[in-house]
């Protein structure tokens, strides 16, 4: 992992080639007084490109000695680096200072100052161009500052991820990290989606993806949905969606990944409409499983009239029915047909409960091989296996079109 230097540089290049940032001991200028907001067809002068109320540049909550911590990795080594200086210079002739959130220490949000070129940022992506040159509050904040101290707040953006994008925009490619932690990759793709800057990642995306793709269905990596969505990885996206169709639980109207105690939406960036599609396929699959189960139960409850009645008589019927009732109760099911909405289980959990039901038959020697009561359960297991193997894709046409567009950008 790339080691952060005390100078405040970011990335994974040769440490001997890192640029030395210029520090400044002068305090940042105070925030200008925001103008009142008005709702017009075009954005108000002090409205952000991304909407929201008017907001002045962030006033530093503490003296700007920021201790900006971030974890880096290089060659298998890992550690935490602390910036001794709050300012990182991306362009020695930079005409703009960005205030970005850094650490929260002792309940206080620290800020990080990035000295950048407004031209480099404007050329990097259309969103930054509009923010710095259009009728938005970011542009107004910059113009309201002094000519030598143009300040623009980026209060919602992670400093590490922002630094990666700024290094690329300023052609500081040696400072771009060769590896990222999974959480850094998730946050970085959140920013590229926000600013329409996916194209900036093209030379590095394949390497970053390969570092984590083996964990795509590992517990805690559900945000791969977002990473694959943003970077146009259709096969990885489909793999995780298929896995979630079989493993998500639904409780109190909320969707939970297998083994998680918090709902997906509380910790995972989710592409639009994908959870609805996953839950729809889960519902259809569980409905098929329940139909097969209760068809099997009907055959078992109906009194035996087969030619093998001497083998499947009342004794066998009662043993089967009694063990069936106990097995269903243990599995959280009932003899009367249940609705999908009543079941919190995932598809895999329900299958496991049904396959492991213990059904008792007549104790007569050689009975099981000819038992008519055993046949429905054999057929049930075979049918359940076919259902799981043929679950259709939960991807909608809109999802595929988006993934194709993003793939074209990255590749």
Among 179, 206, 231, the domain-final residue is 179
Contacts of residue 74, Cβ cutoff 8 Å, sequence gap at least 6? 1, 2, 3, 12, 177, 178, 179
Q: Same domain for 23 and 170?
A: yes
- My answer on whether 51 and 175 are in the same domain is yes
Do 309 and 171 share a structural domain?
no
Show the tokens assigned to 155: 């209060």
Cβ neighbours of residue 190 closer than 8 Å, sequence gap 6 or more = 161, 226, 230, 269
The DSSP bridge partners found for residue 78 are 73
Terminal-residue alpha carbon distance, the chain: 25
Q: What is the pLDDT of residue 66?
A: 32
Q: What is the pLDDT of residue 200?
A: 97
Examine the domain organization and report whether 175 and 285 are in the same domain: no
CA atoms of 192 and 171, how far apart (whole Å): 17
- Residue 367's domain comprises 280-389
Q: Are residues 29 and 171 in the same domain?
A: yes
Q: Please report the pLDDT score of residue 63 as a whole number.
A: 32
pLDDT number for residue 314:
67
Tens of pLDDT along the chain (411 residues)? 444 333 344 444 443 333 334 444 444 444 443 443 333 444 444 455 555 443 333 333 333 333 333 433 333 333 223 344 568 999 999 999 998 887 777 878 788 899 999 999 999 999 999 988 866 545 545 455 444 567 888 888 989 999 999 999 999 999 999 999 999 999 999 999 999 999 999 999 999 999 999 999 988 899 999 999 999 999 999 999 999 999 999 988 889 988 888 888 888 888 999 999 999 999 999 999 999 888 888 877 665 554 444 445 666 767 777 778 888 888 899 888 899 999 999 999 999 988 888 776 655 554 555 466 666 777 788 888 888 888 999 999 999 999 999 999 998
32 and 153 in a single domain? The answer is yes
Residue 339: count of CB within 10 angstroms of its CB: 9
Distance, in Å, from the CA atom of 215 to the CA atom of 222, rounded to the nearest integer, reads 10
**Last residue within a domain, chosen from 159, 179, 199:** 179
Residue with structure tokens 């040159």? 133
Three-class secondary structure assignment of the chain: CCCCCCCCCCCCCCHHHCCCCCCCCCCCCCCCCCCCCCCCCCCCCCCCCCCCCCCCCCCCCCCCCCCCEEEEEECCEEEEEECCCCEEECCCCCCEEEEEEEEEECCEEEEEEEEECHHHHHHHCHHHHHHHHCCCHHHHHHHHCCCCCCEEEEEEEEHHHHHHHHHHHCCCHHHCCCCCCHHHHHHHHHHHHHHCCHHHHHHHHHHHHHCCHHHCCCCCCCCHHHHHHHCCCHHHHHHHHHHHHHHCEEECCEEECCCCCCCHHHCCCCCCCHHHHHHHHHHHHHHHHHHHHHHHHHHHHCCCCCCCCCCCCHHHHHHHHHHHHHHHHHCCCCCCCCCHHHCCCCHHHHHHHHHCCCCCCCCCCCCHHHCCCCHHHHHHHHHHHHHHHCCCCCCCHHHHHHHHHHHHHHC
Residue 322 in any domain: the answer is yes
Cβ pair 257, 263 in contact under 8 A: no
Query: Does residue 304 sit within a domain?
Result: yes
Together in a domain, 153 and 26: yes
Number of structural domains the chain divides into: 2
**Do both 175 and 289 map to the same domain?**
no
Claim to verify: residue 21 and residue 170 sit in the same structural domain:
yes
Specify if 241 maps to a domain. no
Q: Which of 139, 158, 179 is the last residue of a domain?
A: 179
At 283, give phi and psi (nearest 5°): -60, -45
Q: Do 169 and 294 belong to one domain?
A: no
Q: Is position 405 within any domain?
A: no
């Amino acid at each position: 992992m790339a080691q952060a230097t005390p100078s405040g540089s970011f990335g994974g290049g040769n440490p001997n080639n890192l640029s030395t940032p210029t520090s400044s001991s002068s305090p940042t200028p105070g925030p200008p007084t925001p103008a009142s907001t008005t709702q017009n067809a075009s954005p108000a002068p002090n409205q952000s490109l991304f909407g929201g109320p008017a907001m002045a540049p962030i006033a530093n909550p503490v003296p700007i000695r920021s201790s900006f911590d971030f974890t880096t990795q290089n060659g298998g080594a890992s550690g935490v680096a602390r910036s001794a200086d709050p300012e990182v210079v991306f362009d020695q002739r930079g005409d703009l200072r960005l205030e970005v959130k850094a650490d929260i220490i002792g309940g206080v949000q620290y800020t990080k100052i990035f000295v950048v070129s407004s031209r480099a940022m404007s050329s990097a992506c259309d969103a930054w161009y509009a923010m710095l040159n259009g009728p938005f509050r970011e542009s107004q904040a910059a113009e309201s500052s002094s000519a030598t101290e143009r300040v623009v707040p980026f209060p919602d953006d992670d400093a590490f991820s922002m630094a990666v994008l700024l290094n690329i925009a300023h052609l500081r490619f040696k400072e771009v990290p060769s590896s990222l932690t999974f959480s850094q990759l998730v946050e970085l793709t959140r920013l590229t989606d926000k600013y329409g800057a996916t194209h900036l990642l093209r030379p590095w995306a394949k390497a970053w993806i390969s570092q984590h793709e083996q964990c795509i269905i590992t517990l805690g990596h559900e945000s791969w949905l977002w990473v694959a969505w943003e970077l146009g990885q259709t096969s990885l996206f489909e793999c995780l969606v298929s896995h979630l169709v079989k493993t998500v639980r639904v409780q109190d109207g909320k969707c939970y990944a297998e083994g998680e105690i918090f709902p997906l939406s509380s910790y995972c960036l989710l592409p639009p409409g994908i959870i609805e599609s996953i839950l729809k396929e889960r519902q259809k699959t569980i409905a098929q499983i329940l139909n097969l189960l209760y068809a099997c139960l009907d055959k078992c409850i109906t009194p035996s009239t087969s030619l093998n009645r001497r083998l499947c008589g009342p004794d066998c019927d009662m043993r089967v029915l009694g063990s069936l009732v106990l097995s269903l109760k243990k599995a959280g099911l009932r003899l009367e047909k249940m609705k999908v909405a009543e079941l919190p289980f995932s598809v895999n959990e329900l299958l496991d409960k049904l396959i492991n039901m213990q059904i008792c038959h007549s104790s007569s020697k050689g009975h099981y091989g000819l038992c008519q009561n055993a046949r429905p359960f054999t057929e049930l297991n075979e049918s359940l296996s076919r259902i799981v193997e043929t679950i259709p894709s939960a991807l909608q046409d809109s999802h595929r079109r988006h993934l194709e567009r993003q793939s074209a950008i990255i590749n």
